[in-house]
Amino acid sequence: MTKSAIHTSSAPQSAGPYSQGIVANGFFYTAGFGPQDPATGTVPDGVAGQTRQVLRNIGAVLAERGLTLDDCVKTTVHLADLADFAEFNAAYQEFFSAPYPVRTTVGSQLAGILVEIDVVAALPTE
């Protein structure tokens, strides 16, 4: 197996020993991204604003390999409070088109944020 790390300054930097993204076996895997604006470090208010920023962060990493959120086949979402699901879902839907990626959404303890998302995207066949 060959794997290569993907990095961009247009998304929050890794906070530990992990890559922003990895390409392996025809797929692009991202780390879990939070809602920090990569330029300012600020975090938007509310789950909708945070969801939008997380998806912009993920989109920036995908773009390093010429991909978009439409190339995603799987997302995993962590919400600090599952009561925010409807607001999260409305913002999330703004970024994807049918056929939507499969998704797992779970409640998680998050460090000072409301949402974290990671994705798996399929690379185009050559």
Query: How many structural domains comprise the chain?
Result: 1
Q: Is the pLDDT score of 22 beyond 70?
A: yes
In order, the DSSP letters of the chain are: --EEEE--TTSPPPSSS--SEEEETTEEEE--B-S--TTT----SHHHHHHHHHHHHHHHHHHTTT--GGGEEEEEEEES-GGGHHHHHHHHHTT--SSPPEEEEEE---SS-SEEEEEEEEPPP-
Over range 6-35, report the average pLDDT.
Answer: 93
CATH code of 108's domain? 3.30.1330.40
Range of the domain at 84: 3-122
pTM: 0.95
Per-residue pLDDT of 43-69, as tens digits, reads 999 999 999 999 999 999 999 999 999
Q: What is the pLDDT of residues 56-112, one digit of tens each?
A: 999 999 999 999 999 999 999 999 999 999 999 999 999 999 999 999 999 999 999
In the predicted model, is pLDDT for residue 126 greater than 70?
no
